Amino acid sequence: MISTDDFSKRRRFAWTVLLSSFGFFVFACVSIPLITVTYLRTTTQPLLTSVSANQGTVALAHDNDTTIALLVADPPQDVVAGAEIITNAADSALLVAYTPDTNRLALRGQLYGNTRIEVAQSAAPRFEFGNLPNLMVLNQSNGRSRFAVSEDFTLQINTPHGRVEIDTAGEYTIDVNNDEVQVAVQSGVTKVSTDLDDRETASLLLSSDQRAILRQNIKPDGPLDTERNLIKNGRFAADFSSWTVQDWTVELTDQPLGETTTLAESGESRLKLARIGAGHADAGLRQVINQNVADFESLRLLLSFRISQQTLGVCGTVGSECPLSVRIEYKDDAGASRTWEQGFYAIGAIAADTPDICVNCSPPYNPHQPAALGRLQSVDIDLLSSLSMQGANPPQQITSVSIFAAGHTFETEVLEIALLGEE
C-alpha cells in the first residue's frame, strides 16, 4: 500500500515531467522557427567577383602565397576574400562583382597604375529572406580607383588614413598616397571617417560633385569642389535623354540598317549599337556640351564598353570603320574648330591594308586602341596630355561629344562615358 507521502512525491514528479515536457515543447515551438528565420536571414554567400587586366600585367595574389599574372588577353579570374590585386605604373585592372542568385551587377571598379587593393570581405544573402546587405569590404593601401556602385549594394573602403562607406548608387573615386586620401563623388552619397587621437571618430557626408581629404588623426577636410562631369546621362539610365541619335547610313541600298538602343541588363543600363550586313554602315549619338574649359587643369575621358562582334579587321582599309569611336569637337585657344578622335577595335592586326589610324580624318591622329573581343573594357584618357603630345593647341571650349560605330557587321555596348574636368 502506497503511503500518502510517496503518493505526493510521485504526483509532484509526474507534474514536473509534464510541465518540463510542456516547457520544452513551447521552447521548441518558439526557438526552432526563430533559429530557422535567423539562419535564413543572416546566412551569406560570396559575391561573384572577378578581375581582368585592361592594360599591362596585373598581379592577383591569394592568401595562400600563390600569385597569378593576368595579361590583357587572359579571361577574367575569380577573386575571393583575402585576395589582393596589384598594378604597376603602366597597368590597369577591371574589378566587377555580381550578386550570385540574380546575376545583377553590383560593382564595377577601375584600378589604375601603382594601386594595391585587398578584397577583405565579399558577401550576399544566401536566401531570398536574407536581410543583410550585398557587401564588399576593400583595403586600399595605395593608388587610384574609381567605382560605379549599383543600388542595394554597400561598399566599404579602408585606407591607411580613414574609411569610405558607400551605400548609394553612383560613381566614386578614391586616391591614396602616403600622406592622404582624396575621395571624390561624381554622383551619389558617401560617408568618410577618420579616427582621432582621443579615440573619437570624425565623419563627413559627401554628395554629388563634392570631394574630401582624409589624413590620419585629423578631421576630414571638406566638402570641397571636385571634378565635374561635362557629359549628361553618360550611363544611359534615362534612355537617350541629352543625346541626339543620328540616323543609320548604309552604303548598299539592299542591305539592312542597324539598331541603336538602350538596354537595362544585369542591373546596369547601356547603349547598344549593332548591325548585321554587308557593306559600310554607321550610326551614333551626339551631345552638345558648349563648356568653356580654358581654366581647367585636367580633362579626363572615361569610357567603359564591350565589343561583342566585328567582321572588319582593325578599323577597315582606311581606318575609318571602327566598331567604336569617340569624337570630341572643340575650339582651341586660337578660336579654330578642332576634332579629337579615338577608335577602338577587337579583331585584326595592323598591316598595310589595315592602318592604325583614320587616314581620311583630320589631324591630330590617335592610333586605334585594341580591346579583347566580348570583354568589358575600361579606359581613362588624359585629354589635355593627349593633345599636348600631338602638338595641338589646348582646348578653349568643348563643343560636343559623339559616340559612333561603323563597319559591316558589329555589336558594341557602351556602359559609361564621362568627361571629367577639374578647374
What is the tens place of the pLDDT at every residue in 368-387? 999 989 988 889 899 999 98
pLDDT (average), residues 355-371: 86
> Taking 90 as the threshold, does the pLDDT of residue 422 lie above it?
no
> Taking 60 as the threshold, does the pLDDT of residue 37 lie above it?
no
Query: Residue 8: CB partners within 8 Å, gap ≥ 6?
Result: none
Three cell numbers at 345? Answer: 577595335
Read off the pLDDT band of 4 (50, 70, 90): low
Percent with pLDDT over 90 in the chain: 49
pLDDT for the residue numbered 358: 87
Please list the alpha-helical segments (H only) found in 201-334: none
Ranking 20-29, 69-78, 164-173 by mean pLDDT, the lowest is: 20-29
179 neighbors 151 (Cβ within 8 angstroms): no
Read off the pLDDT band of 330 (50, 70, 90): very high
Q: pTM of the prediction? A: 0.76
Three cell numbers at 386? Answer: 593627349
| Tens-digit pLDDT profile for residues 43-91 | 668 889 999 998 889 999 987 778 889 998 888 999 998 899 999 988 8
pLDDT (average), residues 112-129: 82
| SS3 readout for 133-170 | CEEEEEEEEEEEEEEEECCCEEEEEEECCEEEEECCCE
Q: How far apart are CA 64 and CA 67, in angstroms?
A: 9
pLDDT for the residue numbered 193: 92
Read off the pLDDT band of 351 (50, 70, 90): confident
Q: Which residue has the higher pLDDT, 285 or 297?
A: 285
Of 292-296, 308-312, 329-333, 359-363, the range with the highest mean pLDDT is: 308-312
Query: Residue 105: CB partners within 8 Å, gap ≥ 6?
Result: 96, 97, 98, 150, 266, 267, 268
pLDDT for the residue numbered 36: 52
With 0-12 / 13-18 / 19 or more C-beta atoms within 10 angstroms meaning exposed / middle / buried, residue 190 is buried
pLDDT for the residue numbered 42: 55
DSSP 292: E
| Strands 153-159 vs 134-149: parallel, antiparallel or unpaired | parallel
Nearest to 172 by CA among 153, 188, 152, 160: 188
> Taking 70 as the threshold, does the pLDDT of residue 25 lie above it?
no
317 neighbors 402 (Cβ within 8 angstroms): no
> Taking 70 as the threshold, does the pLDDT of residue 389 lie above it?
yes
Three cell numbers at 267? Answer: 542591373
- Cis preceding-peptide flag for 220 (omega within 30 of 0): no
Concatenate the DSSP letters of all residues of 66-81 into one string: -EEEEPTTSPPEE--T
Read off the pLDDT band of 297 (50, 70, 90): confident
pLDDT for the residue numbered 31: 64
> Taking 70 as the threshold, does the pLDDT of residue 283 lie above it?
yes
- What are the structural domains, with CATH classification, of the chain? 44-225 (2.60.120.1440), 244-422 (2.60.120)
Radius of gyration of the chain (CA): 28
pLDDT for the residue numbered 366: 87
| Tens-digit pLDDT profile for residues 188-225 | 999 999 988 767 888 999 998 899 999 988 899 988 88
User: What counts of helices (H) and strands (E) characterise the chain?
Assistant: 2, 30
**DSSP SS3 for 219:** strand
Q: How far apart are CA 219 and CA 177, in angstroms?
A: 17
For the chain, give the mean pLDDT: 86
Where b means 16+ CB within 10 Å and e means fewer, 133-145 reads: ebbbbbbbebbbb
| Tens-digit pLDDT profile for residues 237-281 | 878 999 999 999 999 989 999 999 998 876 678 899 999 999 999
pLDDT (average), residues 359-366: 80
